[in-house]
């Protein structure tokens, strides 16, 4: 049985960890898996897997200590059983200690997208190190693929494998608990929802503004449906207080629910009638794919890989980022047209099955592993 080492830069609660977990969960019967990652909020999740896990200090906390711990841990794991392949996620700099230790062991690096003011520099350094140290690079969407190749990543190294999620096994009792906890009524309310870090890059302020515009529109048309609208925001982050304050200023606080971190997110998302992803930057959103797997119409922004997940006017609407009016217009169309919601919902689920199911991601990744090992 081949031995594959996964290396993650952190174990938070984001998409990088979810994708790595989905892969490992499916691969443990095919390969021996070891994991190197710092401690984090996802510790308990990965602890459920039958794998060997060792930790190192996050480099952004202490670079020298973290580098040395990772370097020595790779050597220790390889001595216990030869590492046949290394799969690194998210942080290209982690390739350095891996390659210094194991000069001939193949390395696969998955780019999960870079954000913020230094994003271009991160992409450039990622391309440089990947050309130098990686055998293959996985891009999680075509938009990322184009960025990487435009910045010089060698075409023979890069492979497109969409992020995938497994079909959720819903628990009706848990969903019912959420109905009661958040005072939701599926029969009388239209529930608009999202799931994201409460961070500027997720564009949630524009969702709040768009939701407020929907209320104004319906009031002007003398429609009482506005009283039966709810907005549910699942997630935590540094902007929580400011977003709550903004909801009050927009006079939608009584209709807006900040649900916090939800460990079993699909059971909450199953209650949504419409899913909205107002991101300003995004690679391949797992939350969006989860909504599609639950057959939800989606409103998403025209950034990164979102237009590859949401086909405009097919399984949802694509709007421009930072544009609350377009969010509002799209919501109004879906709120006032139940048959359109149903059509988009069915198309979302079909698109999920054809492109974003977990098994598709795993099969393509396994083929890349075998091709890399063979070469």
Output the CA torsion sign for 140, 105, 38, 148.
negative
One domain, residues 158 and 278: no
Determine whether 82 is exposed, middle or buried from the number of CB atoms within 10 Å of its CB (0-12, 13-18, 19+).
exposed
42, 126: one domain: yes
**If DSSP codes are grouped into helix, strand and coil, which group holds residue 270?**
coil
Closest residue by Cα to residue 23 from 363, 362, 371, 364: 362
Here the contacts of 20-23 (C-beta below 8 Å, separation 24 or greater) are 20/89, 21/45, 21/46, 21/49, 22/164, 22/165, 22/166, 22/358, 22/361, 22/362, 23/87, 23/361, 23/362, 23/365
Residues 253 and 176 in one domain: yes
pLDDT in tens, 350-375: 999 999 999 999 999 999 999 999 88
Interacting residues of 52 by C-beta distance below 8 A, sequence separation 6+: 33, 34, 35, 77
Over the stretch 134-189, which tens digit does the pLDDT of each residue have?
999 999 999 999 999 999 999 999 999 999 999 888 999 999 999 999 999 999 99
Phi, psi for residue 338 in degrees, rounded to 5: -60, -35
14, 160: one domain: yes
Q: Domain of 93: which CATH number?
A: 3.40.50.2000
CA distance 281 to 203: 9
Question: Are β-strands 190-195 and 256-260 bridged in parallel, bridged antiparallel, or unpaired?
Answer: unpaired
Question: Is the same domain home to 146 and 206?
Answer: no
Whether the pLDDT of residue 119 is over 90: the answer is no
116 — pLDDT class (breaks 50, 70, 90): confident
pLDDT tens column, 215-250: 998 877 765 555 589 999 999 999 999 999 999 999
Clarify whether residues 62 and 205 are in a common domain: no
Residue 337 confidence (pLDDT): 94
Query: What are 294's strand-pairing partners?
Result: none
Query: 55 and 199: one domain?
Result: no
Q: Token pair of 322, please? A: 């930072």
Instruction: Determine the structural domain holding residue 320 and report its residue range.
Output: 172-356
What total of structural domains would you count in the chain?
2
The answer on 181 and 157 residing in a single domain is: no
Tell me: do 120 and 250 sit in the same domain. Answer: no
Average pLDDT value over all residues in the chain: 94
- Do 133 and 196 lie in one domain? The reply is no
Element (H, E) at 268: helix 265-269
Q: Do 120 and 222 share a domain, yes or no?
A: no
How many C-beta neighbours within 10 Å does residue 189 have?
Answer: 17
Are 237 and 146 in a shared domain? no
Is the pTM higher than 0.75? The answer reads: yes
pLDDT reported for residue 221: 74
């Amino acid at each position: 049985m081949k031995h594959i080492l996964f290396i993650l830069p952190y174990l938070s609660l984001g998409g990088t960890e979810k994708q790595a977990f989905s892969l490992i969960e499916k691969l443990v019967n095919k390969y021996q898996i070891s994991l190197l990652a710092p401690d984090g909020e996802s510790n308990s999740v990965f602890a459920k897997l039958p794998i060997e896990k060792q930790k190192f200090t996050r480099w952004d906390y202490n670079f020298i200590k973290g580098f040395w711990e990772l370097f020595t841990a790779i050597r220790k794991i390889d001595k216990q059983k030869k590492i046949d392949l290394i799969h690194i996620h998210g942080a290209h700099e982690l390739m350095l200690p891996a390659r210094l230790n194991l000069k001939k062991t193949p390395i696969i690096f998955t780019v999960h997208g870079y954000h913020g003011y230094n994003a271009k520099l991160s992409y450039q350094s990622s391309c440089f190190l990947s050309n130098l140290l990686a055998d293959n690079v996985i891009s999680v969407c075509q938009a990322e693929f184009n960025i990487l190749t435009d910045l010089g990543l060698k075409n023979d190294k890069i492979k497109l494998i969409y992020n995938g999620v497994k079909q959720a096994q819903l628990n009706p009792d848990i969903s019912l608990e959420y109905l009661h906890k958040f005072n939701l009524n599926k029969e009388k309310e239209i529930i608009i929802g999202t799931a994201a870090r409460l961070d500027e890059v997720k564009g949630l302020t524009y969702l709040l503004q768009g939701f407020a515009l929907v209320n104004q529109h319906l009031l002007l048309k003398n429609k009482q449906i506005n009283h039966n609208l709810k907005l549910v925001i699942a997630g935590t982050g540094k902007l929580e207080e400011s977003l709550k304050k903004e909801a009050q200023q927009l006079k939608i606080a009584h209709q807006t629910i900040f649900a916090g971190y939800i460990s079993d997110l699909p059971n909450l998302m199953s209650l949504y009638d419409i899913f909205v992803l107002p991101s300003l930057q995004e690679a391949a959103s797992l939350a969006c794919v989860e909504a599609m797997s639950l057959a939800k119409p989606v409103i998403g922004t025209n950034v990164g890989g979102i237009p590859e997940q949401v086909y405009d006017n097919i399984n949802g609407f694509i709007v421009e980022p930072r544009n609350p009016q377009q969010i509002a217009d799209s919501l109004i169309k879906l709120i006032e047209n139940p048959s359109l919601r149903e059509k988009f919902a069915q198309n979302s689920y079909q698109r999920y099955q054809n492109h974003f199911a977990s098994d598709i991601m795993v099969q393509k990744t396994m083929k890349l592993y075998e091709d890399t090992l063979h070469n």
